[in-house]
C-alpha cells in the first residue's frame, strides 16, 4: 500500500546516486542541504543500500554542509560517525514523546530512549546536534527525562492541528483555539507557560508559523535571532 500515493513502503524507490551527485555539483559553496525533509534518510533500508552514507561522503568532498533530520538512532552508528565532517555536519534528532510505549502507537521509528542515546553520543563526540522537540505536545513529555538529556541545544515546534492530526493523536484539542493558515494552534500564553518547563539546555530555539508568536520567540527566546534552526558549531 502506498503512502498518500507518493511512495510504497513494500517496494521502495532507491535514490539515483549519479543524479544526486549532479545536483550537489550545482550547489554553491556555503550551502547547507537538508537530508530528511519529506522522508527519513536513516530508514532501515539505508543499512542495506548506503545511499545516505555515499552522499555524505560526496558532500564532504564538495565542501557542502548538511543538516540531518531523523527519528533513527542509526544516525549515530560508529561507521557513520567516522565519516561526518564536524565543520559541515549538523543534526536534529526528533523526539515527540519521552515514552517508548506511547511512541510505537504512532511512529515506525527508533523508540525515543534510543534516539536520546544517539543525541548524547553525537554530542559527546563533538558534533552540532539538537533535540528536535517536534511536535511539542505537553502531555506527552516527561520533563525530568527531557531536561536531563546531555545536549546543549533544543529546537521546539509546537503542535499545529488539522483534521489529519486529530485522527493521529489521541488527546484533548480544546486548548488549540488560535486559527492560522488552515491550522489550529495553542495561544501564545500557553506556549510560554509550557516552554518554561524546558530548563535543561543552554540554547533554545522555537520554530513557528503564527506571525505574532514567531516575533515573540525571535525577540525573547531564540538563541540565534537570524536562524531559528540555530545551526552552528
pLDDT (average), residues 93-101:
97
Handedness of CA 137, 98, 125, 221 (dihedral sign): positive
Please give the DSSP secondary-structure letter assigned to residue 7. B
Q: Which CATH architecture has domain 17-220?
A: Alpha-Beta Horseshoe (3.80)
Bridge partners (DSSP) of residue 90 are: 67, 128
Residue 168 pLDDT: 87
Considering only 30-39, 58-67, 69-78, 117-126, which range has the smallest mean pLDDT?
Answer: 30-39
| Residue 178: pLDDT over 60 | yes
Q: What is the mean pLDDT of the chain?
A: 94
* Cα angle for residues 199, 125, 80 (degrees, 5° grid): 120
Grid cell listed for 80: 557513520
Bridge partners (DSSP) of residue 157 are: 207
Grid cell listed for 7: 511512495
Compute the CA torsion angle 170, 12, 43, 165 (nearest 10 deg).
-20
Residue 1 pLDDT: 45
Residue 9 pLDDT: 64
Task: Please identify which residue in the block is written with the cell numbers 483534521.
Answer: 163
Per-state percent for the chain, helix, strand, coil, to nearest 5: 35, 20, 45
Amino acid at each position: 500500500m502506498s503512502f498518500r500515493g507518493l511512495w510504497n513502503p513494500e517496494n521502495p524507490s532507491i535514490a539515483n546516486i549519479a543524479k544526486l551527485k549532479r545536483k550537489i555539483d550545482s550547489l554553491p559553496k556555503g550551502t547547507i542541504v537538508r537530508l530528511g525533509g519529506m522522508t527519513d534518510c536513516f530508514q532501515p533500508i539505508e543499512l542495506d543500500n548506503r545511499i545516505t552514507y555515499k552522499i555524505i561522503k560526496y558532500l564532504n568532498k564538495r565542501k557542502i554542509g548538511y543538516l540531518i533530520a531523523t527519528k533513527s538512532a542509526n544516525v549515530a552508528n560508529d561507521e557513520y560517525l567516522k565519516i561526518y565532517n564536524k565543520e559541515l555536519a549538523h543534526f536534529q534528532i526528533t523526539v515527540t514523546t519521552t515514552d517508548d510505549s506511547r511512541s510505537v502507537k504512532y511512529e515506525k521509528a527508533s523508540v525515543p530512549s534510543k534516539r536520546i542515546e544517539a543525541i548524547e553520543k553525537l554530542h559527546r563526540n563533538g558534533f552540532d546536534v539538537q533535540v528536535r522537540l517536534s511536535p511539542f505536545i505537553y502531555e506527552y513529555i516527561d520533563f525530568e527525562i527531557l531536561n536531563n538529556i546531555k545536549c546543549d541545544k533544543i529546537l521546539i515546534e509546537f503542535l499545529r492541528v488539522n483534521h489529519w492530526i486529530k485522527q493521529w493523536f489521541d488527546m484533548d484539542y480544546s486548548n488549540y483555539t488560535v486559527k492560522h493558515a488552515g491550522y489550529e494552534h495553542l495561544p501564545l500564553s500557553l506556549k510560554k507557560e509550557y516552554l518554561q518547563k524546558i530548563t535543561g539546555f543552554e540554547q533554545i530555539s522555537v520554530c513557528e508559523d503564527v506571525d505574532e508568536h514567531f516575533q515573540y520567540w525571535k525577540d525573547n527566546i531564540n538563541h540565534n535571532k537570524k536562524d531559528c534552526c540555530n545551526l552552528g558549531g
